[in-house]
Structure 1
């Protein structure tokens, strides 16, 4: 396991128990973002880096009982918190690395990824891995419940032009890894980038 993977595991393991309480008001933002992903009843969707599974109820509500919802996370403590919250009833939870997914090519209709982009060790290669498991025409949502400026303020840092999440940077990154960006929203209460898997 790489140093970056170990750092991510340590960071989230230390915070897993209090994660939901810390971000208690984010549910409506998750539901709204999932609503913009373009899912249909019966679709198969992955929550990549699902954490405590906060997106799983909204994903299940859209794909319905005939759909398939998967939640993948690198940190067992976060998945344990998802189980304690009862979210394992909304989808299948897998302890796995999103940079090497245990899924066949093209099996997904969509990927939802909340807060994931900042934790990818090799973003272009890792976004290619997400593209691998999504069918052509399938969709990707990169989401955060607050925008870049609010997140930077929360973390005590300044926004810079080399921020991975700027529109030009993400457009190029996605374009080079099998995706086409279709929309970019960066507001105080929402960061949401939508992309389509190229054929």
Structure 2
């Protein structure tokens, strides 16, 4: 079914005047009449009663009008969503993250993202660093949020989102706790807890 014919039918049905419908559709009146006749022939029903004094909808025209409006509206919405999808405004984005990112960095990023792209479906997946790297390489997630990357594939691009000084927490009885600065090498023999390296 030709959408142009539907648009012309809706214009005539709403204006109940071929001249005004033609002006609204930016075509000549004969084009409106011709397209309406073709639509009626295609459907096998008369939709519009025409006389010298009056233009009105038949009963079947009244039934068909809301359906035609809905078809046109859904078509416009489909085109709008297609264009939005092509420009990245709608779609799906999968983000892997380590737990501590959720409480610090991720929340404001998600809030800002939702404000800019409300129709993008976000999927947040908690993952260890190594699992995220593998998932990015496999294409199962789009973005990974991890502590400073270790060995990443050349195809994986990294971007620093935030940086902070590395801190060490020591028992007060430890001799290194009295110092304001500690070199990494000095911690080599100390037992400590940190992010997993893989």
TM-score range normalised by the length of the shorter chain:
under 0.3
Q: TM-score, normalised by structure 1?
A: 0.22
- Per the normalisation by structure 2, the TM-score is 0.22
Greater Rg over alpha carbons, structure: 2
Greater share of strand: 1
Asked which structure has the greater RCO (Cα within 8 Å, sep 6+), the reply is 1
